[in-house]
Amino acid sequence: MTTKGPDDTSLVQMFETMALIAATDDALRSAISAGSASLAYYSPRGQEAVAAGFSAALEPGDYLVTTYRGLHDQIAKGVPLRPLLAEMLGRAAGTGKGKGGPMHVSWPDVGLMLTTGVVGSGLPIAAGLAWAASRQGEGAGEAAGDGDVRVTVASFGDGATNIGAFHEAANLAAVWRLPVIFLCQNNGYGEHTAFADHLRVEHVAQRAAAYGMPGVTVDGNDPVAVYAAVVEAAARARAGGGPTLVEAVTYRLFGHVFGDRMTYVDATELEEAWKREPVARFRSSLVERGLLSDADAAAIEENCATMAVATLAEVLELPEPDADEVLRDVVAPMAPMAPREPVGPSQPQQEMSVRSAITLALDEALSADPRVVLLGEDISDNGVFGVTKGLAAKHGADRVRDTPISEQAIVGAAVGAALGGLRPVAEIMFMDFLGLCLDQLANHAAKLRYMSGGLTTVPMVLRTAVGGGLQVGAQHSQMLEAWLAHVPGLKVVVPSTPSDARGLLASCIADEDPCVFIEQVLLLSRKGAVDDTPVPLGVADVKRPGSDVTIVTYGRQVHDAIAVAESLAEKGIEVEVLDLRSLVPLDEAAVLESVSRTRRAVVLHEAVVTGGFGGELAAGISEALFGRLEAPVLRVGALAAPLPYARGLERLALPGPDRLLEALEWVMAYNG
């Protein structure tokens, strides 16, 4: 394929971009050295040609995901200098209101969807953005150019190619033939480690063959070479040919972070690298070709230096965010709950299992909103637990999408798809596997709204199952909801009945924030009435009224609580069972209203007691109702051991009715 090179005007624009990057870098380093600016700064000096080349090869609406050493990429993609520098310095006028900082810049107006401070983690998100672009097709064409889908560029360093996320994202993108360009800016060092000491291949691009995609290595100090490679890769991607790995070999001329003395770099090697410094090299090339005179080139560099210094000086005088910003943009404002519109004829109070209710909710969402997509392992058939049975046949395998066994890729792709305008519902087979993808969930899905100052949102759902009580052992049985509830920005729900499962999942899919929907496998076959009543997030439900003691619980333990409450009613003790349904947002008012009446509380959950969500509930009750309680708040949960396989030991470890009954009798008998 022959690629037409950039015209003369584009060549000069590339030089202007490179000059502005270098000038901004100079201004920042000078200000930090002088003590007038304080930030963790990762200089991209030496990599200006890569950014100028790839950005010139893209259409304005194409997406970019970059990494914390991303100043050059951000400038080249068109982020205005003033809000960019303001964000880097934590000012209210920054791209994210000063809440993201230099490692977390987003500017969707020019397609910069994410800058991540976690090495390699942006690649699965880029795959998700590319998936969204490919699904939207010509709907994104006007912004992308010439009626084609948007292309996503994932920019990263050579060190990131050793991260699992790189391999999972590359494989997923290749299998799904996504319009993504993996652009490795190989600057010779992964932090303080030389390239040859952390890879056993000569070029990163050689790794592309393992995924069945093209890999090309170009001179990263030559913007025209980078431009040509990216133009070809973008054309291939837009035509449905899938991803390309482009390796631009360059050199990092300053240390990993400002203040790094580069003692790990050979002085002669660094001296030679400065002789190939890309801005001066490209300037000479343009002068030799007659596109610029020496005076023209000097004027461009002088103008860029003046702009960078003046903008930085202005930004340094800007105020930091007001105090009221600290809790703003964590989640979307709560919207009134709209009545559900049934897809088919309404059948009030129909009986079905929790499993069927979840399937129904997914079916309704897919039917009602073309943006809703499902992804996960084996979900196009029945799913491991039969929850997605029949959905691919009805809605298409392109919307109910099987993935490789790649938890980081699944959740990262869901994050990217949500950023790109879809409403993905991802499935992680067992909750225990959250450890494999917690970075994508906790560092990205949960934080992107906040770090971008509300510019980017992640309306996604993560469904995951818990196998406690199934005798499947310690690695398939953990309730880890406390992990999730501890992360601001995530919403966490645990249904106990078919009607709640349907209603809560519908609310999660409609929500503007990332929600985790927890399905306890032993509950899936339980049947009950299902109606069309909406179930909003953050609203608890009294499953059994009572006046003597409150059980605060959720999930399948609700049914144990009701059974024990009924047995105590025969002894004249009236137990109220409060089903939280949502852990985040938590219906604190309902909890306190119930316990203030009964003046006694027992918190019940399947998770281990130590560090469990019950501790948060007990503390909140005790703080709010101190002096009004008749007894201490007790917690009942699993014993502090990995869940054993042997059936008898598993029963002993899990919180059964006997332990709950013992706790209730204790609080009722307590007499100070």
Which entry of 167, 476, 559, 605 is annotated as an active-site residue? Answer: 476
Backbone angles phi, psi at 520, to 5 degrees: -85, 120
Backbone angles phi, psi at 378, to 5 degrees: 65, 20
Residue type, 178: L
Is residue 247 classed as helix, strand or coil in its secondary structure?
strand
Give pLDDT tens digits for 532-566: 889 999 999 999 999 999 999 999 999 999 999 99
pLDDT score of 391 more than 60: yes
pLDDT score of 663 more than 70: yes
Backbone angles phi, psi at 526, to 5 degrees: -70, 135
Q: Which residue has the tokens 């930091």?
A: 320
| C-beta separation of 529 from 349 below 8 A | yes
Helices (H) and strands (E) counted in the chain, each on its own, are: 24, 22
Predicted local distance difference test score (pLDDT) of residue 346: 53
Residue 376's closest CA among 400, 358, 349?
Answer: 400
CA–CA dist 470, 465 (Å, integer): 12
pLDDT score of 109 more than 90: yes
Average pLDDT over residues 245-249: 97
Backbone angles phi, psi at 507, to 5 degrees: -65, -40
CA–CA dist 107, 99 (Å, integer): 14
Residue range 541-669 in CATH 3.40.50.920:
yes
pLDDT score of 140 more than 50: no
Predicted local distance difference test score (pLDDT) of residue 138: 42
Average pLDDT over residues 74-99: 97
Residue 72 a catalytic site member: no
Confidence of residue 347 (pLDDT cuts 50, 70, 90): low
Domain positions in the chain are 40-275, 352-530, 541-669
pLDDT score of 234 more than 70: yes
DSSP 196-230: HHH-SSS-GGGGGGGGTS-EEEEETT-HHHHHHHH
Predicted local distance difference test score (pLDDT) of residue 133: 95
Predicted local distance difference test score (pLDDT) of residue 3: 66
Average pLDDT over residues 304-319: 98
CA–CA dist 30, 368 (Å, integer): 55
Q: For residue 278, what are the contacts with CB-CB under 8 A and spacing of at least 6?
A: 18, 46, 47, 48, 49, 220, 221, 222, 223, 250
Confidence of residue 343 (pLDDT cuts 50, 70, 90): very low
Confidence of residue 381 (pLDDT cuts 50, 70, 90): confident
Predicted local distance difference test score (pLDDT) of residue 618: 98
Q: How far is CA 23 from the centre of its chain?
A: 33
Sign of the dihedral defined by the CA atoms of residues 553, 558, 563, 569, in that order: positive
Residue 407 a catalytic site member: yes
Token digits of residue 555: 């999930």
Same CATH fold, 541-669 and 40-275? yes
Q: Considering the chain, what percentage of its residues have pLDDT values greater than 70?
A: 96
Q: What angle do CA 139, 144, 147 make, to 5 degrees?
A: 55
Average pLDDT over residues 586-609: 97
Confidence of residue 196 (pLDDT cuts 50, 70, 90): confident
CA–CA dist 331, 245 (Å, integer): 35
| β 400-402/350-353 pair status | unpaired
| β 189-190/350-353 pair status | unpaired
Residue 569's closest CA among 496, 635, 668, 670?
Answer: 668
CA–CA dist 565, 556 (Å, integer): 15
Average pLDDT over residues 211-219: 97
CA–CA dist 661, 657 (Å, integer): 6
Give pLDDT tens digits for 36-74: 999 999 999 999 999 999 999 999 999 999 999 999 999
E strand or H helix that includes residue 602 = strand 601-608
Backbone angles phi, psi at 656, to 5 degrees: -95, 180
CA–CA dist 553, 653 (Å, integer): 18
Token digits of residue 187: 């600057």
Q: Which of 137-141, 199-203, 375-379, 527-531 comes out lowest in average pLDDT?
A: 137-141
Backbone angles phi, psi at 141, to 5 degrees: -65, -40
Predicted local distance difference test score (pLDDT) of residue 348: 59
| C-beta separation of 495 from 441 below 8 A | no
- Helix/strand/coil (H, E, C) string of 547-586? CCEEEEECCCHHHHHHHHHHHHHCCCCCEEEEECCEEECC
Is residue 366 classed as helix, strand or coil in its secondary structure?
helix
pLDDT score of 586 more than 80: yes
pLDDT score of 131 more than 90: yes
Residue type, 130: A
Q: Is 419 exposed, middle or buried (0-12, 13-18, 19+ CB in 10 A)?
A: buried
Token digits of residue 41: 């700064």
In the chain, what is the straight-line distance between the N-terminal and C-terminal CA atoms, in Å?
Answer: 84
CA–CA dist 463, 297 (Å, integer): 56
Residue type, 174: A
| C-beta separation of 5 from 224 below 8 A | yes
Q: Which of 135-149, 155-169, 252-266, 349-363 comes out lowest in average pLDDT?
A: 135-149
Give pLDDT tens digits for 470-486: 989 999 999 999 999 99
Token digits of residue 377: 């392992």
pLDDT score of 341 more than 90: no
CA–CA dist 416, 324 (Å, integer): 29
Predicted local distance difference test score (pLDDT) of residue 146: 46
For the domain 40-275, what is the CATH superfamily, name and number? Thiamin diphosphate (ThDP)-binding fold, Pyr/PP domains (3.40.50.970)
| Higher pLDDT, residue 148 or 424 | 424
CA–CA dist 403, 392 (Å, integer): 13
Residue 375's closest CA among 357, 353, 391?
Answer: 391
Q: Which CATH architecture group holds 352-530?
A: 3-Layer(aba) Sandwich (3.40)
CA–CA dist 381, 389 (Å, integer): 6
| C-beta separation of 141 from 147 below 8 A | yes
Is residue 464 classed as helix, strand or coil in its secondary structure?
strand
Predicted local distance difference test score (pLDDT) of residue 392: 96
Length in residues, the chain: 672
| β 63-67/152-157 pair status | parallel
pLDDT score of 382 more than 90: no
Average pLDDT over residues 350-379: 96
Mean pLDDT (the chain, rounded): 93
Residue 252's closest CA among 12, 54, 71?
Answer: 71
Which entry of 364, 407, 481, 519 is annotated as an active-site residue? Answer: 407
CA–CA dist 105, 488 (Å, integer): 19
CA–CA dist 383, 387 (Å, integer): 6
Give pLDDT tens digits for 619-656: 999 999 999 999 999 999 999 999 999 999 999 999 99
Q: Considering the chain, what percentage of its residues have pLDDT values greater than 90?
A: 88
| C-beta separation of 666 from 634 below 8 A | yes
